[in-house]
Amino acid sequence: MKNLILILLTILTFVSCGNAEKQSVEAVIDSNNEASIIEMRSDLVTQQQDIQAKLALLDAKLSELNPEEKIPLITTFTAIQENFQHYLELQGRVETKQNIVLMPEMGGILTHMYVKNGEKVTKGQLLARIDDGGMGQQLAQMQIQSELAKTTFERQERLWKQKIGSEIQYLQAKSNFEGQQRAVNQMEIQVAKTGVRAPFSGTIDNVITEQGSVVSPGQTPLLRIVNLRNMYIKTDVPETYISSVTKGQQVYVSFPVLGKSLDAQIRQAGNFINPNNRTFKIEIDVPNTDNLIKPNLTARLRINDYTNENALLIPQNIISENAQGEQYIYVLKNIDNNKAQAQKVIIKTGETQGDVIEVLEGLNDGDQIINEGARSVEDGQSVRIITY
């Protein structure tokens, strides 16, 4: 008690001296005397050092009287086995095999375009016509000649069956008729190439070349036809997941632009590793009942590639690492009410998901783990547990 009274008197003395010194400092400054100012500054520095030394003595005494003031405050949580699912997150692109640009097989003038943008068409429907350059008239003439050759052959055949005429006449008639038929068939194929037909049912997405234009075979794009029913997502998967990402696996798919998500399935997993980026391709079926999903649309994929039903999970931010590269955390030992002892535990970690990480070794079910304050304690140090 006497020591405290002396301390208070000392502090009051310094405060009163401070007021006098403040006036003295102002007077010395007003005097503009360099020697006086230097002397006053030196005295104040000495007094400051003396005060700091006495404050240090006071703090030491207070720590001695109340040693628990230095015990760090921490919060804890209990390690509990729980189901842990790790998800591989990828980005993919929507594609369809029924999305093509049609080009002519014959060159010439585009005489007719029978469809327009947005029109639905069926497989085999005639979409456009190219000038045949007179091949239609040639075909008609050849068909007439073929009919004549047919009539001649039929008559010669009847005569031959009646043993009238020579065999050579019969064979010549037959050969002439068959030759005319083959010629007609060849010409019909050529004429058919002047018509552009739909290879599958779908929608005309874009009429590229207008009627009356001159087109070249295999070079001039005429129109684009798209079918939005058989859509799929294609993406690349790192080779490290080749055993965990397989055909038939469920995938959670989301389309950020549409604000839409759905559950899908991997329909194909590639067997070839691309040597350039060490990935393999997968394809995912995408139902498109409302036709909102379009080719080249960006999709986000979440694939459950790992599951542990009895995992011990901890926040990643409580893990530290020593000079040997080992990871460690602190658990509580000798718990007595709100007091305990911190113990460093070396751990081995596994997969991460978000802010948590799986602990494979070094931790037991039911252990009390230091959460807040984990980076301010030391091995064997006493700690105080606070609760919220």
pLDDT digits (tens, 9 = 90+) for 56-86: 787 667 666 655 556 788 999 999 999 999 9
C-beta neighbour count of 279 within 10 angstroms: 19
Looking up tokens 């926040």, which residue turns up?
315
Residue pair 217/110 in contact (Cβ under 8 Å)? The answer is no
Q: What is the mean pLDDT of the segment spanning 180-207?
A: 91
Verify that 271 and 249 share a domain, yes or no.
yes
Spatial neighbors of 8 by CB under 8 A, at least 6 apart, are none
Verify that 105 and 177 share a domain, yes or no.
yes
Looking up tokens 């049912």, which residue turns up?
201
C-beta neighbour count of 361 within 10 angstroms: 11
Instruction: Answer whether residue 18 shows pLDDT above 50.
Output: no
Residue pair 281/237 in contact (Cβ under 8 Å)? The answer is yes
DSSP 217: T
Looking up tokens 């003396």, which residue turns up?
50
Structural domain of residue 64, as residue ranges? 2-69
Q: What is the CATH number of the domain that holds 144?
A: 2.40.50.100
Verify that 249 and 356 share a domain, yes or no.
no
Q: What is the CATH number of the domain that holds 260?
A: 2.40.30.170
pLDDT band at 12 (very low <50, low <70, confident <90, very high): very low
CA 139 to each of CA 133, 144, 184: distance values in angstroms, whole numbers, following the listed order: 12, 9, 7
Look at residues 165, 194, 225 and tell me which one is the last residue of a structural domain.
Answer: 225
pLDDT for position 7: 47
Instruction: Answer whether residue 17 shows pLDDT above 60.
Output: no
Torsion angles phi and psi, residue 335, rounded to 5: -75, 125
Residue 358: strand pairing partners? 313
pLDDT for position 21: 45
Q: What is the mean pLDDT of the segment spanning 273-278?
A: 94
Residue pair 61/263 in contact (Cβ under 8 Å)? The answer is no
pLDDT: is 366 or 337 the higher one? 366
CA distance 33 to 302: 79
Verify that 238 and 201 share a domain, yes or no.
no
Verify that 163 and 152 share a domain, yes or no.
yes
Verify that 341 and 375 share a domain, yes or no.
yes
Verify that 291 and 364 share a domain, yes or no.
no
Q: What is the CATH number of the domain that holds 343?
A: 2.40.420.20
% residues pLDDT > 70 (the chain): 91
The count of structural domains within the chain is: 4
Spatial neighbors of 325 by CB under 8 A, at least 6 apart, are none
C-beta neighbour count of 10 within 10 angstroms: 13
Q: Does the pTM of the predicted model rise above 0.75?
A: no
Long-range contacts, 154-157 (Cβ 8 Å, 24+): none
Verify that 122 and 28 share a domain, yes or no.
no
Q: Which amino acid is at 366?
A: G
Nearest to 180 by CA among 147, 211, 132, 217: 147
Residue pair 195/102 in contact (Cβ under 8 Å)? The answer is no
In this predicted model, what pLDDT tens digit does every residue of 281-292 receive, in sequence order?
999 999 888 888
Torsion angles phi and psi, residue 334, rounded to 5: 55, 50
Spatial neighbors of 379 by CB under 8 A, at least 6 apart, are 330, 342, 343, 344
CA 103 to each of CA 98, 127, 175, 188: distance values in angstroms, whole numbers, following the listed order: 15, 11, 38, 20
Verify that 263 and 378 share a domain, yes or no.
no
Spatial neighbors of 191 by CB under 8 A, at least 6 apart, are 132, 135, 136, 139
Instruction: Answer whether residue 125 shows pLDDT above 90.
Output: yes
In this predicted model, what pLDDT tens digit does every residue of 294-321 receive, in sequence order?
999 999 999 998 899 999 999 999 999 9
pLDDT for position 287: 86
Q: What is the mean pLDDT of the segment spanning 98-117?
A: 92
Mean pLDDT, rounded, of the chain: 86
CA distance 388 to 368: 16
Tell me which of 11-15, 102-106, 349-353, 365-369 is least confident: 11-15
Look at residues 171, 191, 225 and tell me which one is the last residue of a structural domain.
Answer: 225
Verify that 236 and 209 share a domain, yes or no.
no
Instruction: Answer whether residue 366 shows pLDDT above 60.
Output: yes
Verify that 103 and 206 share a domain, yes or no.
yes
Q: Which two tokens stand for residue 112?
A: 């007719």
Can you spell out the DSSP letters for 137-191? HHHHHHHHHHHHHHHHHHHHHHHHHTT-S-HHHHHHHHHHHHHHHHHHHHHHHHH
pLDDT for position 6: 45
pLDDT for position 66: 57
Instruction: Answer whether residue 8 shows pLDDT above 60.
Output: no
Verify that 203 and 232 share a domain, yes or no.
no
Q: What is the mean pLDDT of the segment spanning 326-330?
A: 94
Instruction: Answer whether residue 223 shows pLDDT above 80.
Output: yes
In this predicted model, what pLDDT tens digit does every residue of 352-362 receive, in sequence order?
988 999 999 99
Look at residues 191, 225, 259 and tell me which one is the last residue of a structural domain.
Answer: 225
